[in-house]
Every structure is written in C-alpha cells, then in structure tokens.
Chains A and B, each alone.
Chain A
Amino acid sequence: MKRRDFLRDVAVGGLLLNVRPGLWARNSAALPDMAVIKGEQPALLAKEVVTALGGMNRFVGRGDVVLVKPNIGWDRTPEQAACTNPEVVKALVELCFDAGAKQVQVMDNPCNPAKRTYVRSGIAAAAKSAGAKVPFPNDHRLKKVALGGEWLKEWDVYTDFIEVDKIINVPIAKHHSLSRLTMGMKNWLGALGGNRNQLHQGLDRAMVDLAAFFKPTLTVLDAYRILHRNGPQGGRLSDVTLNKTLVAGVDYVAVDTMGASFFDLTAADLNYLKLAHERGAGQINLEKLNIDKRTI
C-alpha cells in the first residue's frame, strides 16, 4: 500500500467513524430526555427504554470498556426486590456488546458478602451468560480518590469504577429510612470501600457529591418490582409491589425524580434531590422534560 493511499484511507475511515455520532448529535433534539416504559418483560423493557433514547450506540462506542453498576447489595432473591432485576442487567450487557463494547464489567460492593449476593440476586449468572465479567470487589484496587465534592472531598473508590470508558448505572427503586428512597444517586455507595457506613451522617450531601463525581453515561432505573417497606433489603414479598416500569435517562436527577413518583413522592419530599437540583446537577421539574412514556 502506498503511503498516500494509506493516509487517504485513514482520513476517509476516520470521517466515516465520526459520521454516526455526528448524526446522533444532530438528531438528539428530537430524542426524548427520558423514557418511562411499562410492560410485562423486564428484558424487553430494558431494550425498549434504551432504544427510545436513541439506542445504545448513542452511549457506547466501538471498543469501549463499559462498567454496568447494578445494585447487588443484599443476599436477596429478585422477587424480594432488594437488588436490580437480573434480566435487566443481562439485557443491558447485551446491548453494550451489540453497540461494539470491547469489555463489559458488572460489579458492586455489597453489604452482605459478594459471594452470596452475586449468586442469590441472580445477577452474576445473568451477566456472565451475556459475556460480562463479574469480578468480586478487590480491596487491592481501592484508591483514595479526590471526589471534588462540596462535602465529600475524598474517599476510597474501587478503581474499576474509574478506569472505564463508559459507566451505566442500573439501580433498583427502594424504600430507605434515611434518604427515604434509594435509587440511582444512592447506588454509588456501592462503588466505595472504607467505612462507608459513616457517610450516613451526611448521606444526602454524600449522594449528591458521589453522583456528580461518577456522572453515569446513562441511568436505567429498575422499577419493575419496587420495595415499599423495610428497605433497603426488605425480605417479605408483601413489602414488594409490581410496578412493571423501567426508567432511563441521561439526567440522573430527573430519573430519580421520576422514580419517586412510583412511591407517591416528589422531589420536594427528597432532600437529596432538592440539593442536587440546587447544584444544577439535573432537573426535578418533570414537566420541563420531553418524556417518552408508554406501555408496551
């Protein structure tokens, strides 16, 4: 191959590669800010919410290393709604690979031992079947990181959550006695090590700082089964209601605000959402958003 041909090919190839994101950028005005889709099958819902936002190609590029962060906090089954629905996690992993991701990693630092929660939640098996890596949290990979938060200046973070190209947050919507609800922004405590339980002394502020630091590419809120009482780990099936809805959006504040509505709460009831909005992290007035809300 001649040098000239090579340069030409590189130039053309580069242009071609650049075209698609460019097109999306132009089209994004037409795309909804948030997708709220109700239906019977969690996996289908996961694919549908992402498609509604323009497809996974909008978020994940060819060769990306992606981290999918579900809530795998507790030694509970999917029916108990303490951990993210495994089918949703699996569907998202598949979408990432379809969009050309080089590697997809699924992990969480749980409250009960990871060996248990990874299994009983069904998430490890589901994610692995889709080709993801599901490593146990490794304390050797903890690093004290400057978070640049207003309250939380630095903390031990698993570098797995930092050394990736894209990060997708997949929380489940649950009751919590301190923050009232735990959804996307609370989910980041699962990326931390150290004595993270002490963060409860300023939990709302910690959540806002952490969410701003991790700033996910996409948040998919699993509200298929939601836990109304005895959160965040529940236990009884009577604490759970079938809501059969998934929410997705880039604005993580808006996604949590939408999630609150399933519990008949608004952003005004949730201190951390007010704080996040004041900081300009996202929108809590859902009327200002273009929402694709439907049932399939």
Chain B
Amino acid sequence: MTKERSRYHRVLQFLRIISQLAFFTLFFMLLLRTHFPGGDYIGNVEVFFHFDPLLALTTFIASRTFFPAFILAGATLLVTLFLGRVVCGWICPLGSIHQFFSFLFKKTKLLRPKNPKTNRTVWKYYVLVTVLTGTLFTLNVVGWLDPFSLLTRSFATGVLPALDHTASSFIGMLYRINVSSVGDVMVQFFETLDINPTFIQGFFLAALLLGIILLNLIRERFWCRYICPLGALLGLVARWNMLKLEIDGDKCIECGLCTRQCQTQADPFPNDEWKTSECVYCMTCAALCPTGAIRFPLKLGTRPAATVDMSRRKLIFSSFLGALAVPFFRLSPHKTRASEKLIRPPGALPENKFLEKCVKCGECMKVCPTNGLQPTLAEAGPEGIWTPMLVPEIGYCEYYCSLCSQVCPTGAIKELTIEEKTEVKIGTSWINKNRCIPWTFGDPCIVCEEHCPVSPKAIELVKIEVVQPDGTVKTPLAPFINSELCIGCGICENKCPVVDKPAIYVTSVGESRSERNQLLLDVIKQGGSPYGH
C-alpha cells in the first residue's frame, strides 16, 4: 500500500483555484465596467446573470414570459447535467468568496471542520421549493438569495462605495500632506472608475454580505451548503451526471479525512454515501487523500448515488409556506394608491409586471451615472424591497441615458434607445411655493428652469409680485410647471439651491408605465406609450 497523495488531483485543485480566481476577476471587472462607458450604449456587462438558470426559471414562471438572453442558462444546465455542480466549485464568484474565507478561517484556526454527518444540506432544497412556489403566484423574490444578485447588489451598494470612500479619504490625506501630484492622478483614475458612492441602505446591504461571509466560521461554505437556492437547483440537475466519485477500496485506509474536510458536506466516505448533488468538484478530498484513493472517473451511463434525504412532509410544507407567504409579501398600501416616492427607472414595466421580473440585483443602481437609483425599503411594499427607485435629491435621471434599461438582466426595465428614453415620463415635478426662493422671498433664481432638459422647457417662468414686509413689491421670475412636458427626471429637484429639502420635487404621478397613476386626463397621450396601454 503506497502512502502518497495524488499529484494529478493536486494539479486539478490548483487549476480549480486558478479558475475561481479568473472567473471572480471577470465578474469583478464586468461589475466595475458597469458604468457610463463614454458613449450611449454599453455592452453585455450583465452577462453573468444570463448563465443563471435559477433567475431564468423564476422570472419565466413568475412573469410567464421568456427573456431571450436567458437561453445562455441552458449552457449551465447542460454542464451540470453531465458534469455535476462544477459551476458552483469552479466558477461561481460568491462560491469562490466563501471558499476563500473558509480557507482563511481554517488556516487561522477560527474554524475547525466538524463532524458533518447532519442532514442540514437539505435546507437549501426547501428554500428553493419555497421560492419556486411563490413564483407560481407571480411572487418573485429570488433576487434576495440568488448568488449573482446578492453579490452584485452588495458590491454595488456597499463594498464598492466603501472602497471609494477609503480611496477618497486617502486622496484627501495626500492633498493635506501636499503630495497633490499623486492625488491628481488618483482622482482622475477614480473618476474613470465612476463608482457611485452614496446608497441609503449601503451599510445594511454590505453588513448582510459580511454576515453571510461570517457564516463560514460555523461551517465551510455555509451559504453553499445550506442556503443557496441556485446550488439546490443545480444539485437536482446534477443527480444523473457522469462524474462520480470513486474510492479505491484497496488504497483507502478509512481515515475519514475526505469527509471531514469536504467543503460542501458531500460525504465522500464511505463511497456509497457520497452525494453527487452536494459535490462541487473542488478536488479537496482527492488532493488531500493520503493514499490517493479518490478519483472522479468520467463514466457514461448513470450509476445510483446517495441523495440528500428530503422529507416529503417538509417539501410539502415548504411549498405551502411559499404559497402562504405570497399575500403577506403583498401587504402594502401601494396596491390601491401609487407610492409617490416610487419613481421607477425609465423603461420600467408597469408595477406588477416589473415586480415579477426584477431580481433586485442592483445592476441599474451600479450603472446609473448620477447615483440616483437607490434600493427601495418600504416604497414598493415587502416584495419590492431592494428594487430600484430614483431619489432625485441624490441623483437625477440623465436625459440622454438609458443605461439602466440596457443592463437590466431580466427585462424588468425594458431596453430603450436614447431616442425612446427621452419620450418616457417617470414622474411629475411639483413646486413647494412655501420654500421656493422667488415664490417665498421674491428673489431671483430660475435654477430649475435652466437645468430642465426638455425643449421647450417643462418649467416656464412667470413674473410674479411678492409683497415684502415693508410694503414694497418684488417682481421676480418664478417657476411654473408644465406637467404635460415634464418627464420627471428630477434634475430640478437635484439642483434646487434650497439645499436641504428642495423647493421643487418629483413624485411618481403621470409615469408613462402606469394606467392609473395619472394626473389629468389630457396628460395621457393617445397611443404615446411604449407599453401599449
């Protein structure tokens, strides 16, 4: 009996790490490139999402429409069907993060692999069933848990803004110690990275990612083992794959190292307990085995393998839970009256359709050139948490920009050309005459009018008379909204010199996508809506 680790599998393990690094870098670079590209149209920076069969499935069931780009998810399914969950082990960027931190926690002795013989891996299947049942009733909340959505959202609204903040503090220090030449170069560099620094919920969304990473202190790849609904879906597909673990009984010394060190609790030893649906082919066991007894031979034809013990009772319970949860997620006053603050991005489908498709990934928030798109909290009801809304006080909707509609991976925001976009109305502007400088004090201003991008302008100026306390009369030009011309972009609100609470503000009324959230009958242009209602 030779006591020798398998060189071949150690090379494979190394290649796996290289692959994870490469795909994580690709994911990160694409995310970084999700910003104003210096032109009107951006490439397929959201392509990772289209390889995700979970998003494809849930948006398909929830919206009852198939978004063509999701054809790519078929590739992931095919790979998984034949080779098992290699996507989880070799490609998934969130999986790589978990694997990295699990490794780190083990090296620092913060995590000691424990006896894994539990059946908790079944949790994620219940999560999947719950989510999928919801989609039958058009409730699509998979975005909270889908790994690509989760990672993109956390990075876009939390991690990257924090990095940007760190960088600008560092740059500020450079200027204070008079190394401004280095500072200048760094400022221009970060300007090209174009990271949106301000997100109302950035702290919480980043903290959530941190919490999920810290779960690796309890078990290696905790998220992938117990929670990830995409992993569960791929686990179901992987059942009949052709890469099955084999232990050479002659070599095996029954040390149990493989099972204890398994990243995802696939139980390699004993051989007939190995679960093909849990294995992500990270090669840890095969590389670690002191006698090189573990192999993954490619074999045509299926061979029965152990499965995760799913209790039928709990599966039925999960699906009931998924169905029962639906109405609770829809308890919101905005079902009867539109939310005034819910200014959706241009191209967003009518609210019901939008919620069926939006996967809360934050791509639109990352790409928004003014940082105006923010994750919602209560504005869109519970099911709409972390969907995008425009907050003009932070950033307005840029007139010649349709980037959010181009990067939306599911078509929740209908892709628009620049010409189409300028025709879309996302809300209507209002003047708070009690705060407006000309209306209140009689002093000149016109800042909102000068910034209004439509031509002719949606803000007209009227000469008004404002009686002063001493009886004199001032006659400034004061803004007057033409609600028919106003597209609700919010630049007026953003630029209003009343800096704390702007004297002009946008609400969602009049948005092209809604039939009911309208102001005046004559505002509805006949056949003018790109959404065909």
Contacts and interface: CB of A to CB of B under 8 A. Distances in A.
A141 B461 CA distance: 36
A200 B444 contact: yes
Contacts of B399: 75
Contact of A230 (B36, B191, B456): B456
Interface centre among B172, B457, B499 (most CB of A within 10 A): B457
Q: Is the interface of B mostly helix, strand, loop or mixed?
A: loop
Nearest to B495: A197
A58 interface: no
Interface residues of B, number: 39
Interface stretch (B121-129, B181-189, B350-358, B525-533): B181-189
B37 to A, nearest CB: 10
Given A116-B36, A232-B450, A235-B455, A200 B191 contact: no
A135 B192 CA distance: 11
Interface string B447-464: 101110111110001000
28 contacts: A112-B398, A113-B36, A115-B369, A116-B369, A116-B398, A119-B38, A138-B188, A138-B191, A140-B175, A140-B183, A176-B450, A177-B449, A177-B450, A178-B445, A195-B499, A200-B444, A200-B445, A200-B446, A201-B443, A201-B445, A202-B444, A230-B457, A233-B450, A233-B453, A235-B455, A236-B455, A236-B456, A239-B455
Contacts of A115: 36, 38, 191, 194, 369
A177 B476 CA distance: 11
Contact of B451 (A111, A138, A176): A111
B83 interface: no
A197 B400 CA distance: 22
B338 interface: no
A234 B455 CA distance: 6
B187 A140 contact: yes
Given A120-B400, A230-B456, A230-B457, A136 B188 contact: yes
B307 interface: no
A27 interface: no
Given A112-B398, A177-B449, A232-B450, A195 B497 contact: yes
Interface in B16-49: 36, 38-39
B370 interface: yes
Interface string A228-248: 011111111001000000000
Given A112-B398, A197-B497, A235-B455, A178 B446 contact: yes
Nearest to A74: B453
B262 interface: no
A295 interface: no
A203 interface: yes
Contacts of A176: 450
B55 interface: no
A111 B369 CA distance: 13
A198 B502 CA distance: 13
Interface of B: 36, 38-39, 171-172, 175, 180, 183-184, 187-188, 191, 194, 369-370, 398-401, 437, 443-447, 449-451, 453-457, 461, 477, 495-497, 499
A233 B446 CA distance: 13
Number of chain A interface residues as a range:
20 to 34
Contacts of A233: 450-451, 453
A178 B455 contact: no
A138 B187 contact: yes
Contacts of A197: 447, 495-497
Top 9 A-B pairs, shortest CB-CB distance: A235-B455, A197-B497, A198-B497, A236-B455, A197-B447, A138-B187, A136-B191, A230-B455, A140-B175
A200 B447 CA distance: 7
Given A115-B194, A116-B36, A235 B454 contact: yes
Contacts of B171: 140
Contacts of A120: 400
B97 to A, nearest CB: 30
Contacts of B194: 115
Nearest to B454: A235
Interface string A173-214: 000111000000000000000010110111100000000000
Contacts of B187: 136, 138, 140
Given A138-B184, A178-B450, A195-B499, 11 more contacts: A115-B38, A116-B398, A116-B400, A136-B187, A138-B187, A138-B191, A176-B450, A177-B449, A203-B444, A235-B455, A236-B456
B470 to A, nearest CB: 19
Contacts of A113: 36, 369-370, 398
Contacts of A119: 38-39
Nearest to A76: B400
Contacts of B456: 229-230, 236
Nearest to A159: B180
Contacts of A195: 497, 499
A206 B436 CA distance: 21
Contacts of A177: 446, 449-450, 461, 477
Contacts of B477: 177-178
B398 A75 contact: yes
A256 to B, nearest CB: 18
Contacts of B446: 177-178, 200
| Residue of A114, A120, A138, A176 with highest tally of chain B CB at under 10 A | A138
A231 B437 CA distance: 21
A235 B400 CA distance: 11
A9 B481 CA distance: 71
Interface in A33-84: 75
A136 B369 CA distance: 15
B439 to A, nearest CB: 14
A233 B459 CA distance: 13
A239 B449 CA distance: 16
A295 to B, nearest CB: 31
A117 B436 CA distance: 28
Nearest to A176: B450
A111 B449 CA distance: 13
Interface in A119-168: 119-120, 135-136, 138, 140-141
A188 B171 CA distance: 27
Given A177-B446, A230-B455, A200 B38 contact: no
A70 B461 CA distance: 28
A138 B168 CA distance: 11
Contacts of A235: 453-455
Contacts of B38: 115, 119
Contacts of B437: 201
B36, B398, B437, B455: residue with the most chain A Cβ atoms closer than 10 Å: B455
Interface in A91-130: 111-116, 119-120
A235 to B, nearest CB: 3
Contacts of A203: 444
Contacts of B454: 235
B419 to A, nearest CB: 13
A100 to B, nearest CB: 24
Nearest to B443: A201
Contacts of B495: 111, 197
A188 to B, nearest CB: 16
A156 B194 CA distance: 23
A200 B400 contact: no
A89 to B, nearest CB: 18
